[in-house]
Amino acid sequence: MQRTGVGAESGGFGQRIMELADRLAHWSESSDGLTCTYLSPAHRTVAAQIRDLMREAGLTTEIDTVANVIGRYPAADSAAPALIVASHYDTVRNAGRYDGRLGVLTALILAEHLGRLGRKLPFHLDVIAFSEEEGVRFSSSFLGSSAVAGRFDAKLLERRDAQGVTLAAAMAEAGLDATKIPALARRRDGLVGYLEVHIEQGPVLLEEGLPVGIVSAITGSVRSMVTITGTAGHAGTVPMARRHDAAAAAAELVLYVEKRCAQAPTLVGTVGKLVVPNGAINIIPGRCELTLDVRSGDDATRDAAMSDILSEMERITARRGVTIDSQEVQRTAAVQCSARLQKVLADAVVGAGVKPRHLPSGAGHDAMMFSGLTDVAMLFVRCGNGGVSHSPREIITAEDADVAARVMLDAVLRLAETS
Ligand code: HGY
Ligand code: MN
Ligand code: MN
């Protein structure tokens, strides 16, 4: 059975994916770089653009009540289960243009190609562009995918953004009805699996000269918001021995996180934001707000590091006469990808003439939300520029995007043959 189908002229998928990624990158809430966070005007425009692309591809489309964009390439049998092929369309600040969007556009291109071939599948092919994976605006990731996976935490609706706007208010302002979120949840018996194409966001495939790789596991993370309260004072008149400097305490904590999280192979720890609110050059910082992101491929390793970091916070408190409040805002368990779907991807990778390389993901992904509900697997695509991501220097090639699209198309058709 010819799987990749006629009409898939070599390189055609990749070129189109790159062109569409460039198009979607036009909309940003910043004049300096690509930033597209949940329900901003840019975010709403990109959702409409993706919906229109899905319509042009012949999919039945909708934008759901958390702003996920869903395009269905229907099975012959309306009662058939669905295969979800998805990723996210929101971005971090000053982002690259492929994180998330590569997966959305690849899924779209696949569905469009199958429609052009008139090739029906024994399952619906649901292309989903999740609305919020990065957790930038409301400090909690996977908002879009958690709703579809039936794991949305309603307490999130009271979470406030930097301007004090609650998620509930932001949704209402966008005309989204939060009471309809529970109805988005997919059932286990309605799914045959979940697949996601994503950039690797690391150097492994680049260093090994491979265009794609198969994800074996996805790292789990704990994220906290930390507030250190000391005593503000005059920078010129308070002797050093009498200070309770919140920023100096934060500096000690940052260096401790760096040292502690260097102590295990897959353990990483990051303080991504560190702010002295209303700071000034001649004021001793009385308050410092920071974020903490600790991850490991193994939850016990991660949790041991978090426990040590919390103990160090207590020691800093005692040493410096400050108070440290640490609020956990997210905890995601590490996920093993389905052996069954990894094999399907590996067979398709071999079919594309590429050595199959299985590798773990240090980044979190929407796929994690579906683990436990259905089988999940991911295909990584090589990143250039040393593998950099969450940066405008994020880069892939049209050739690699084309390989990934062909591998994913082949994998979907292999699944169709065995369903
Ligand atoms: O932070 C992450 O791992 C992902 O990019 N959201
Ligand atoms: Mn990301
Ligand atoms: Mn991503």
Are residues 355 and 411 located together in one domain of the fold?
A: yes
* Residue at a domain's end among 280, 311, 332: 332
Are residues 209 and 61 located together in one domain of the fold?
A: yes
Classify residue 2: in a domain, yes or no: no
99 Cα nearest atom in ligand 1 = 5
Are residues 235 and 93 located together in one domain of the fold?
A: no
> Is the CB of residue 141 below 6 angstroms from any atom belonging to ligand 1?
yes
**Tokens 């012959």 label which residue?**
76
Amino acid identity of 407? V
Which distant-in-sequence residues (6+ apart) come within 8 Å of 250 by Cβ?
228, 274, 288, 290
* Residue at a domain's end among 332, 364, 383: 332
Average per-residue pLDDT for the chain: 96
Q: What's the whole-number mean pLDDT along residues 361-388? A: 97
pLDDT digits (tens, 9 = 90+) for 290-349: 999 999 989 999 999 999 999 999 999 999 999 999 999 999 999 999 999 999 999 999
Q: Provide the residue range defining the domain that includes 288.
A: 220-332
Tokens of 89: 């369309």
Closest-approaching ligand to the CA atom of 102: 3
Q: Which one, of 355, 396, 361, lies nearest residue 377 by Cα?
A: 361
Which distant-in-sequence residues (6+ apart) come within 8 Å of 265 by Cβ?
none
Q: Which one, of 18, 415, 58, 403, lies nearest residue 211 by Cα?
A: 403
For residue 183, the Cα-to-chain-centroid distance in whole angstroms is 23
* Closest C-alpha to ligand 1, atom 4: 364
Residue 6 has pLDDT above 60, yes or no: no
According to the model, what pLDDT value does residue 202 have?
Answer: 97
293 Cα nearest atom in ligand 1 = 1
Residue 400 has pLDDT above 60, yes or no: yes
Residue 4 has pLDDT above 50, yes or no: no
Are residues 389 and 374 located together in one domain of the fold?
A: yes
Classify residue 1: in a domain, yes or no: no
Q: How far apart are CA 194 and CA 371, in angstroms?
A: 9
According to the model, what pLDDT value does residue 419 have?
Answer: 82
For residue 290, the Cα-to-chain-centroid distance in whole angstroms is 21
Closest-approaching ligand to the CA atom of 135: 1
> What is the number of alpha carbons within 13 Å of residue 355 lying toward its C-beta?
6
Q: What is the CATH number of the domain that holds 323?
A: 3.30.70.360
Are residues 290 and 374 located together in one domain of the fold?
A: no
End-to-end C-alpha distance for the chain, whole angstroms: 15
The total domain count for the chain is 2
pLDDT digits (tens, 9 = 90+) for 242-286: 999 999 999 999 999 999 999 998 899 999 999 999 999 999 999
Classify residue 69: in a domain, yes or no: yes
Are residues 46 and 190 located together in one domain of the fold?
A: yes
* Closest C-alpha to ligand 1, atom 6: 134
Q: Which range, of 8-12, 116-120, 193-197, 362-366, averages the lowest pLDDT?
A: 8-12
Amino acid identity of 115? G
Are residues 109 and 168 located together in one domain of the fold?
A: yes
Q: How far apart are CA 111 and CA 416, in angstroms?
A: 13
**Tokens 């109805």 label which residue?**
183
Residue 1 has pLDDT above 90, yes or no: no
Classify residue 399: in a domain, yes or no: yes
Classify residue 3: in a domain, yes or no: no
Do 100 and 198 contact (CB within 8 A), yes or no?
yes
Are residues 213 and 325 located together in one domain of the fold?
A: no
Q: Is the pTM of this model over 0.85?
A: yes
Are residues 93 and 233 located together in one domain of the fold?
A: no
Do 37 and 137 contact (CB within 8 A), yes or no?
yes
Are residues 214 and 239 located together in one domain of the fold?
A: no
Q: Which one, of 99, 38, 52, 345, lies nearest residue 216 by Cα?
A: 345
If one counts every other C-beta atom within 10 angstroms of the C-beta of residue 78, the result is 7
Are residues 108 and 199 located together in one domain of the fold?
A: yes
> Is the CB of residue 245 below 6 angstroms from any atom belonging to ligand 1?
no
Classify residue 367: in a domain, yes or no: yes
* Residue at a domain's end among 284, 313, 332: 332
According to the model, what pLDDT value does residue 140 have?
Answer: 85
Are residues 339 and 323 located together in one domain of the fold?
A: no
**Secondary structure element (H or E) that encloses residue 319, with its range:** helix 299-320
Q: How far is the CA of 409 from the centre of ligand 3 (A)?
A: 21
Q: What is the CATH number of the domain that holds 210?
A: 3.40.630.10
Q: How far is the CA of 143 from the centre of ligand 1 (A)?
A: 13
